[in-house]
Chain A
Amino acid sequence: MTRLAAYESSEGKKNMSIGTYFRGDYISGQIMKSIIYGTVAFALVFVLYLLYDAEKLMESIYEIDLMGFGKELLIRYLVFIGIYSVITYIVYAVRHRRARRKLRIYYNNLRRLDSMYRKEGKG
């Protein structure tokens, strides 16, 4: 019982919130979050790149093939987001599986405790 209460107050709280989602919903939600974070991170790196190469860019602003530059930027962004999303998928799929497994053990123990109480009540 003490162990059940300890689990409930510490790790259990987080796992229960994970357990309320279906696997697909939970992981896709996390991937969406990662895409937002990843986009901001990519934008920051791009700004840093602009500052770094500002001189060269200013000099050759009229000679740059903007379409080509944009295409290259988009490909890099997609590759970056793709890798970031794959990592997110792996990490959160593992977390979801673990949380589910621990919750199942917790509910099993809870059921056993409940039956114990019932028996005591009858006795």
Chain B
Amino acid sequence: MVVLLQIRERITRFYTSYDNYCNAAGRFILALITFLLINHYLGYSAILTNAALVLIIALACSFLPMNFLLVAAAAVTLLHIYALSLESVIVVGVAYLLMMFLYFRFSPKDSMLVILTPICFVLKVPYAIPVAAGLIGTPTSVISTGCGVAVYYILSYISKNQVPEAVTAPVTEDGAASMINKFRFIIDDLFGNKEIPVFVAAFAITILAVYLIRRLSIDRSWLIAIFAGTLLDILVLLGGDLTFKLYLSVPGMILGHVVAIAVAVVIMFFRFNVDYTRTERVQFEDDEYYYYVKAVPKNTVKPEERRVKKIKGETKKDAAEYHMRRSVTEKKEIVTDRAARRTAPTDRDIRLEEARERRRAADRLERDVAAKARENRERRGNQ
């Protein structure tokens, strides 16, 4: 466990030192995966499948906000679908707009979830998303996850391998009637797909359950939330499967939920690693409130510092070289150099001084609060 904690500490330190680069690299990889998957499954437009273009868009996404990736991915999918048929692009465009209104109104910062949900569906581990969203996010994550589910099912309907012939069929002589029939066909297929509401409902219930349970002040609330959420997800999905006859693969669902639990435990290890054996219960008061506080200490460990020991072997000095080194001028230089090093503060010194200053400020604050409390008590005693 200590080794794991040390690794966590190292990862955290590395991330905090290079967070700008890490975020940019993460966004780039996510954008690249997103566009490669879009091109693989849709790929109707030859220009958009160009590797150089994909790289350029992914690079642009790496230093722009996450919502740009969302808009870029939506635009690329619409362009692909436009190459397939005009009717499809209108229906998908309207669906996108509706989702955008919901998403940008309530959870505009959850773009990661909207992107990750379809990707996890493709990787066959969609069940990890609601549990993770419940652990890290807020109740409004329900909207972003729901949008992600809808996007996946819409795109998988239009995807290369599954698109019905009726959608790609050329418009016949009776143009208008043929177009309307296509519309009806696409809307019937898309909005008649019962898997979308079942998955949206299951994920929404799971997110809310995980969120509510993990915020309770009971011991091991996160672990209970993970297992309760996963169980609830399975139950709702099975209920939906039986009601609407979706024929979902039960072994696949259970395996997916096992993966979801593993992912959630990793998240818990990084976000909520506490030691319940050292829990403290404190009561105190100020002028306005009584406080009943339960303090659970976090598990932290200092990573091992690598110490580099310099071993200097004794070398036989050549007499001539020895005398040369001892020459007066060089000695002077060495002395001045050492003196300069002694007086000029290094970065480490500055950091240490800053840490000391912070410590002093914290001590002063603590003393201040204690004095104030004492003063209040005395005042109350006098009254």
Contacts and interface: CB of A to CB of B under 8 A. Distances in A.
B173 to A, nearest CB: 17
Contacts of B184: 52
Binding site of A, secondary structure by majority: helix, strand, loop or mixed? helix
Nearest to A54: B180
Contacts of A38: 101
A64 interface: no
Contacts of A45: 94, 98
A91 B365 CA distance: 37
B105 A34 contact: yes
B101 A40 contact: yes
Contacts of A1: 358, 361
B275 interface: no
Contacts of B106: 87, 91
Contact of B187 (A2, A40, A48): A48
Contact of A51 (B101, B177, B183): B183
Determine which residue in A38, A45, A52, A112 has the highest number of CB atoms from chain B within 10 A of its CB, and name it: A52
B183 A44 contact: no
A83 interface: no
B364 interface: yes
A68 B113 CA distance: 43
Interface residues on B, range: 10 to 19
Interface in B120-149: 140
Contacts of B91: 48
B180 A37 contact: no
B368 interface: yes
Contacts, number: 43
B97 interface: yes
A13 B187 CA distance: 43
Interface in A61-93: 87-88, 91
B365 A112 contact: yes
A52 B184 CA distance: 5
Interface string B349-368: 00000000010010011001
A32 interface: no
A38 B102 CA distance: 9
Contact of A44 (B97, B358, B361): B97
Contact of A37 (B90, B101, B183): B101
A6 interface: no
Given A51-B180, A52-B183, A41 B101 contact: yes
Interface string B364-383: 11001000000000000000
Interface of B: 90-91, 94, 97-98, 101, 105-106, 140, 177, 180, 183-184, 187, 358, 361, 364-365, 368
5 contacts: A41-B98, A47-B94, A54-B180, A116-B364, A116-B368
The 6 A-B residue pairs whose C-beta atoms are closest, nearest first, are A37-B101, A41-B101, A51-B183, A54-B180, A44-B94, A52-B187
